[in-house]
Every structure is written in structure tokens, then in C-alpha cells.
């Protein structure tokens, strides 16, 4: 019987999925403790990091390593005192920096020795600013099936920028123009830059009181803790080889700018 159990255990170790789900307690910059849920899917080559902010905003960041696509989904609840009902879902696609997040395979090997520990990131990577230039439309599925599934709830509020379109390699049977024809660019006057500061000439939504007027929204999201690299230690003097002995953790904030046809479509996050 013991041999039979051992055999079953060995079979399980070989065929079990190499996915991982971690629940991390994280301290944000304000000193509050929140939880992050990190899922690594080795078969899809993706990592998803999710958390709920203290203001009720839900953030879900997907990184598709195979297709080099990062999709940040933000679900923003309406504020009842402002007459806003329901919620709004936005999604932002950017070219994934491979060195900014450890791979799903490496992530799947992580284990928590002390699950109750409150984590603080070792390095602050500062702000990454993105000014979207178009609605993604059909390009989302062309770029990444995983990102299309991740952003499905956002519908027509999936945004990207032309600079990233140029960085994604064409898929088999496609060329670069396939991406360009699949997106819907913002109106030309929303893309023009003012020579003095490089910002679009349209005003920020935060300063626009007329709910029917177009404007530029901005949204800020901070990921307080995520595995951004591997650590290596030196072996014994006689061997001299280095080995993986841990992970490096980082903090990063994102600032997204994007065009809206009506100020009242910007909710209260400008």
C-alpha cells in the first residue's frame, strides 16, 4: 500500500499544473495594509496581479509574455453623492517590458514561508506615464487573446498608443498595417501637441464643468508590490557557481491620459 501511495504521489508531482496563486499582504505608501492576489499561468505564459484599493477601485494587471502585452484593467465604482450609478471599466494596453516582471515559470516556483507577513517593496521604480492615442478595438484580440479576454468587460474603453503598436511584432500572416487598421484613432485635435509643454490642447477633464464637452482624462494606478527580478547568490568557494536564492520586489505607479467625448464619461478619477 505504501508503495502504491508513493507511486501516486510521484505521478501527481509530474502531471500537476505548474500554475501558482499567491495572496500577499502589502503595505502601501500611506501605511495601510492591503492584499494582492498573484496568479501565474505557465501554459498561457501569463501573470495576473489583482487588488482592491481602499477607495473601492479594483485593479487587475495582466502580463502576456509570449505576445509582450501588458493589460491594466481598472473597475471604478460610481459615486452616489454625485449621481453616478453603476461602475466603469477601463483597460490600457502597453508593450510589456520583459525585464519588469519575472516570468510565469519563475513565478510558479515561488512559495510563501510566512503567508501572514506584511510585505514592502525593495525598490521604487517611480512613475510610468502613458498618453493613449486610440481605442484598441479589434487590435486587442490580434495582439493577445489573453488580453482580449482580460479586457472584455471594458468593451469600447480599451486604449493604447501608436508608439506601442510600432513595437509589437506582426503575427503570422499579418503586417504592421493590420494593427493600424484595427484601431480607432482619437480625433486629430486631441492628438496635436502644444509646443510649450507637449500636452494635447484639449483641457483636462478635472477643469471642465460641462458634462457634454470633450476633454482629456487621467487615471493613476500604483502597484505597491510585485516580483520584478530574481536574486542570485554565490555558491561555496570550491564551486564558485551562483544560484537563484530569492526574488527582487518593486513598486511602480502608472499615469494614463486618454481622450473622452464627454466629460461625464470620465467619472470622478481625473
pLDDT the model gives residue 187: 93
Residue 1: the pLDDT is 39
- Identify which of 88, 70, 86, 30 has the alpha carbon closest to the alpha carbon of residue 269: 88
pLDDT at 264: 85
Q: What is the pLDDT of residue 9?
A: 34
Total H helices, total E strands in the chain: 7, 13
| The pLDDT of residue 86 | 72
- Taking 70 as the pLDDT cut, the residues of the chain under it are 1-18, 79-85, 98-99, 193-201, 236-240, 268-270
Residues in Cβ contact with 29 at an 8 Å cutoff, skipping those fewer than 6 apart: 222, 224, 251
Question: What pLDDT is stored for residue 114 in this prediction?
Answer: 80
Let me know: does 69 contact 47? Beta carbons within 8 Å: no
| Listed residue (80, 258, 198) closest to 270, CA to CA | 258
* Residue 169 contacts residue 178 (beta carbons within 8 Å): no
- What pLDDT score was predicted for residue 7? 38
Residue 81 has a pLDDT of 59
pTM of the model: 0.84
Q: Are 262 and 213 in contact (CB under 8 A)?
A: yes
Phi-psi sector, 258: left (phi>0), alpha (psi -120 to 50), beta: beta
Amino acid at each position: 500500500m505504501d508503495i502504491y501511495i508513493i507511486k501516486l504521489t510521484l505521478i501527481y508531482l509530474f502531471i500537476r499544473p505548474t500554475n501558482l496563486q499567491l495572496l500577499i499582504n502589502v503595505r502601501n505608501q500611506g501605511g495601510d495594509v492591503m492584499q494582492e492576489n498573484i496568479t501565474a499561468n505557465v501554459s498561457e505564459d501569463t501573470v495576473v496581479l489583482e487588488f482592491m484599493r481602499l477607495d473601492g477601485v479594483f485593479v487587475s494587471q495582466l502580463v502576456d509574455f509570449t505576445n509582450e502585452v501588458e493589460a491594466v484593467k481598472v473597475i471604478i465604482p460610481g459615486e452616489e453623492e454625485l449621481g453616478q450609478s453603476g461602475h466603469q471599466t477601463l483597460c490600457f494596453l502597453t508593450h510589456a517590458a520583459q525585464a519588469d516582471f519575472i516570468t510565469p515559470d519563475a513565478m510558479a516556483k515561488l512559495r510563501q514561508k510566512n503567508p501572514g507577513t506584511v510585505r514592502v517593496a525593495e525598490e521604487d521604480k517611480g512613475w510610468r506615464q502613458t498618453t493613449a492615442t486610440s481605442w484598441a478595438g479589434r487590435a486587442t484580440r490580434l495582439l493577445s487573446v489573453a488580453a482580449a479576454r482580460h479586457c472584455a468587460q471594458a468593451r469600447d474603453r480599451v486604449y493604447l498608443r501608436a508608439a506601442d503598436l510600432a513595437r509589437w511584432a506582426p503575427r503570422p500572416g499579418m503586417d504592421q498595417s493590420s494593427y493600424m487598421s484595427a484601431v480607432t484613432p482619437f480625433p486629430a485635435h486631441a492628438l496635436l501637441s502644444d509646443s510649450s509643454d507637449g500636452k494635447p490642447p484639449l483641457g483636462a477633464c478635472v477643469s471642465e464643468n460641462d458634462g457634454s464637452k470633450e476633454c482629456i482624462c487621467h487615471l493613476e494606478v500604483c502597484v505597491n508590490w510585485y516580483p520584478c527580478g530574481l536574486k542570485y547568490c554565490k555558491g561555496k568557494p570550491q564551486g564558485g557557481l551562483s544560484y537563484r536564492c530569492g526574488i527582487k520586489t518593486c513598486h511602480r505607479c502608472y499615469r494614463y491620459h486618454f481622450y473622452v467625448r464627454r466629460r461625464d464619461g470620465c467619472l470622478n478619477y481625473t
